[in-house]
């Protein structure tokens, strides 16, 4: 019998596309169970690779679409699935959900997104999903363990930063389980985690998303500095802001909760409107 490893040795994985293929079927089944797929669900798989998850997913719903950037993999998958697999040759980051998906799916339900994603573009994928949050029910993704910890981090910890704030602002994230490097071929240098991001109701009401992004970015750009110093570049009238807004600007950003960042941003936005 040909082992998984021998099968993959025939194909040279492309490191620049983050190709570490899952070869442990028990882990694949555990991920699928976490997705709780129903037969009418609309499902998008990011980077199906050699089909470790795909072979299970296509049995669960007909509304399945794979998005893969590597055309050699696509040809192999088409053969493997007798040309019955819905797959597009596309960079997921450039996929236009409005125009391209409507031709493929009759989207009645919100989308479920699943993928063992390329670790080099995890953050970009996350930010794309946040932009599309109204169309998504949840995402289940295998990512680098250290990134999963940053995503779920709470204030007053080293891991808390922009990624935690943006993810928790847009979703409810949860680490489901960890996966060792031995579950992949080739073995990655890092450990992995499977996470679930629930895109439910908005938890925070932001008046000005752009302003909020800038405040968080400037604050964590110099995370050891107190916010009075970090925000100098953002506001040339910082004295007016600090005098008129009830917030202790001598705090460091890692000790400020998401709720407090949202309140700060909304109050500055209101102050700007009054000043105009």
Residue nearest to ligand SAM (CB): 47
Q: Is 87 in the site for ligand SAM (CB under 6 A)?
A: no
Q: Is 69 in the site for ligand SAM (CB under 6 A)?
A: yes
* Nearest Cα residue to 87 out of 140, 98, 76: 76
Q: Is 47 in the site for ligand SAM (CB under 6 A)?
A: yes
Q: How far is the CB of 80 from ligand SAM (least distance, A)?
A: 13
Q: Is 73 in the site for ligand SAM (CB under 6 A)?
A: yes
Pick the binder of ligand SAM from 8, 64, 92, 138 (CB under 6 A): 92
Residues in 104-163 at the binding interface with ligand SAM, rule: CB under 6 A:
116, 118, 121
Q: Is 194 in the site for ligand SAM (CB under 6 A)?
A: no
d(CA 194, CA 175) in angstroms, rounded, equals 6
H-helix or E-strand spanning residue 108: none
Tell me the C-alpha to C-alpha distance, in Å, between residue 114 and each of 28, 141, 215, 260, 270.
11, 6, 31, 32, 39
Let me know how many helices (H) and strands (E) the chain has, helices first.
Answer: 12, 9
User: Which of these segments, 32-40, 44-52, 56-64, 242-250, binds ligand SAM (CB under 6 A)?
Assistant: 44-52
Q: Is 173 in the site for ligand SAM (CB under 6 A)?
A: no
Tokens encoding 155: 């204030």
Q: Which positions touch ligand SAM (CB under 6 A)?
A: 17-22, 46-50, 52-53, 67-70, 73, 91-93, 116, 118, 121
């Amino acid at each position: 019998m040909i082992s998984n490893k021998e099968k993959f040795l025939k194909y040279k994985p492309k490191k620049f596309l983050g190709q570490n293929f899952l070869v442990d079927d028990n882990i694949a089944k555990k991920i699928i169970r976490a997705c709780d797929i129903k037969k009418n669900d609309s499902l998008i798989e990011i980077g199906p690779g050699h089909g470790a998850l795909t072979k299970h997913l296509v049995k669960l719903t007909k509304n399945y679409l794979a998005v893969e950037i590597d055309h050699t993999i696509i040809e192999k998958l088409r053969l493997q699935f007798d040309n019955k697999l819905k797959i597009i040759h596309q960079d997921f980051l450039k996929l236009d959900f409005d125009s391209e998906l409507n031709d493929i799916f009759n989207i009645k339900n919100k989308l479920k997104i699943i993928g063992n994603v390329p670790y080099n573009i995890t953050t970009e994928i996350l930010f794309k999903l946040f932009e599309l949050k109204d169309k998504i029910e949840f995402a289940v993704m295998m990512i680098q363990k250290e990134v999963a910890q940053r995503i779920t981090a709470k204030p007053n910890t080293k891991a808390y930063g922009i990624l935690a704030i943006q993810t928790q602002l847009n979703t409810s994230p949860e680490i489901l389980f960890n996966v060792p490097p031995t579950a992949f071929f080739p073995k990655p240098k890092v450990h992995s985690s499977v996470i679930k991001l629930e895109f439910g109701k908005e938890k925070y009401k932001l008046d000005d998303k752009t302003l909020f992004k800038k405040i968080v970015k400037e604050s964590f750009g110099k995370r050891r500095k107190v916010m009075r110093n970090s925000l100098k570049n953002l506001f040339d009238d910082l004295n007016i802001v600090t005098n008129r807004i009830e917030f202790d600007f001598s705090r460091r950003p890692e000790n400020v909760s998401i709720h407090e960042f949202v309140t700060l941003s909304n109050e500055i936005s209101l102050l700007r409107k009054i000043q105009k």
